[in-house]
Amino acid sequence: MEKKPFVTKEKLEEIAAKYPTPFHLYDEKGIRENARRMNQAFSWNKGFREYFAVKATPNPVLMKILKEEGCGVDCSSYTELMLSDACGFGGADIMFSSNDTPPEDFRLAKKLGAIINLDDLTHVEFLNEVAGIPETICCRYNPGGTFRTANGIMDNPGEAKYGMTYGQMAEAYRKLGQLGAKRFGIHAFLASNTQTEEYYPELARILFELAVKLRDKTGADIRFVNLSGGVGIPYTPDGEPVDILKVGEGVKEAFRRVLEPAGMGDVAVFTELGRFMLGPYGCLVTRAVHEKHTYKDYIGVDACAANLMRPAMYGAYHHITVMGKEDAPCDHKYDVTGGLCENNDKFAIDRMLPKIDKGDLLVLHDTGAHGFSMGYNYNGKLRSAEILLKEDGSFELIRRAETPEDYFATLDFLNLFG
């Protein structure tokens, strides 16, 4: 499958004339269409809700677009709770899934009426002490060992820091019930960025069977099962997107086989996706500013790992389109680099691309999730702007680029220098 940008070179030049590169650009039309596909895939479940993972792309304009499409939000910190509250999310619109959680985070989640998802058995007493137990509560499950489907091992949850054992889940439910909880949920995240239609249905089967066991063992009134995230996107051009409609059908089949015969056909199914919801609908736009020829050929761009950390941190692949040269032969081998004083600040290594000239615009695909949000200020680099390409073809600045004043804002120069 060929990866094509969702924006033309002419439009990018128009945007860059007003907002200099680098910047992250988002596709409103694609975001809305994908959210509607997601809701269609699970429309068979009356209580279904997608809780967008705020950590993936914490921008209020994008969050409000998803809110308009019926999504809630998944938060993992105090500031994400604040942001969601400011965007008009409240109560059961918010899932709060955190770990090693500070007391003030629990207190704010309780105040907002969020559905709190406990990561550890000890958090039952901790939450009770610092904020009190709400009537609706969720616990996070970790089955241990390896997680596999028919296609083989997907991940190794036994090595993950998240979640409780089955015995701890049962004890947590009992304690929570004694402390006033009346309605319960189950949550689990067992594999990351899966690109198969099998992941969610297999995870659903495991969690649905767990729900029946916990109901029978503790008498808990289980109202929802949260499948969390993990449905991925194809970063490489030869990858095939996950068919979310098939995924929804697979989860439906597990629901009918496990929960309905157990008299639990009213359980709601939740999801908590970030990458799948926004990843393909964002890109990092950068301009070639230098060309270097030593032992290798290098193209230096005006973006760096501070704008997109994934290649440096994980060795992750992001496809690159040289705008205006889409049909040119990829007959030049380049390392595409940023300006950090780190040798891993490379967006591509030994990548075959068309000949790149200084001034060319480059689009790095699939940065709509875990792109801008993982930015940082190493080397005094400043985070870029975020721009929304709207459905009518116009564009809107939805986060301005940082300035040196922002970088120095937390320093008291009068005290620092006398």
- For residue 378, what is the domain's CATH number? 2.40.37.10
**Residues 213 and 345 both lie in one domain:** no
**Residues 48 and 171 both lie in one domain:** yes
In-domain check, residue 26: no
**Residues 89 and 168 both lie in one domain:** yes
Q: Which of 221, 245, 273 is the last residue of a domain?
A: 273
Q: Which of 273, 305, 331 is the last residue of a domain?
A: 273
Instruction: Mark whether 341 is an active-site residue.
Output: yes
Q: What is the DSSP string of 99-159?
A: SS--HHHHHHHHHHT-EEEE-STHHHHHHHHHT---SEEEEEB---S-EEETTEEEE-GGG
Note down pLDDT in tens along the chain; length 418 residues. 579 999 999 999 999 999 999 999 999 999 999 999 999 999 999 999 999 999 999 999 999 999 999 999 999 999 999 999 999 999 999 999 999 999 999 999 999 999 999 999 999 999 999 999 999 999 999 987 676 665 554 556 656 678 999 999 999 999 999 999 999 999 998 888 888 899 999 999 999 999 999 999 999 999 999 999 999 999 999 999 999 999 999 999 999 999 999 999 999 999 999 999 999 999 999 999 999 999 999 999 999 999 999 999 999 999 999 999 999 999 999 999 999 999 999 999 999 999 999 999 999 999 999 999 999 999 999 999 999 999 999 999 999 999 999 999 888 765 655 4
In-domain check, residue 399: yes
**Residues 87 and 227 both lie in one domain:** yes
| Global pTM value | 0.94
Report how many domains make up the chain. Answer: 2
**Residues 248 and 195 both lie in one domain:** yes
**Residues 192 and 308 both lie in one domain:** no
Q: What is the DSSP string of 215-252?
A: HHHH---EEEEE--S-B----STT-----HHHHHHHHH
Structural domain span for residue 152: 42-273
In-domain check, residue 27: no
In-domain check, residue 320: yes
Q: Which of 238, 273, 308 is the last residue of a domain?
A: 273
- Taking a C-beta distance cutoff of 8 angstroms, is the pair 70, 40 a contact? no
**Residues 260 and 284 both lie in one domain:** no
Q: What's the mean per-residue pLDDT of the chain?
A: 94
What CATH number is given to the structural domain containing 101? Answer: 3.20.20.10
In-domain check, residue 28: no
**Residues 291 and 224 both lie in one domain:** no
**Residues 132 and 174 both lie in one domain:** yes
**Residues 329 and 205 both lie in one domain:** no
Tokens representing residue 55 in the block: 């950590």
Does an H or E element contain 197, and which? none
In-domain check, residue 3: no
**Residues 266 and 356 both lie in one domain:** no
**Residues 112 and 91 both lie in one domain:** yes
Candidate list 87, 283, 330, 341, residue with the active-site label: 341
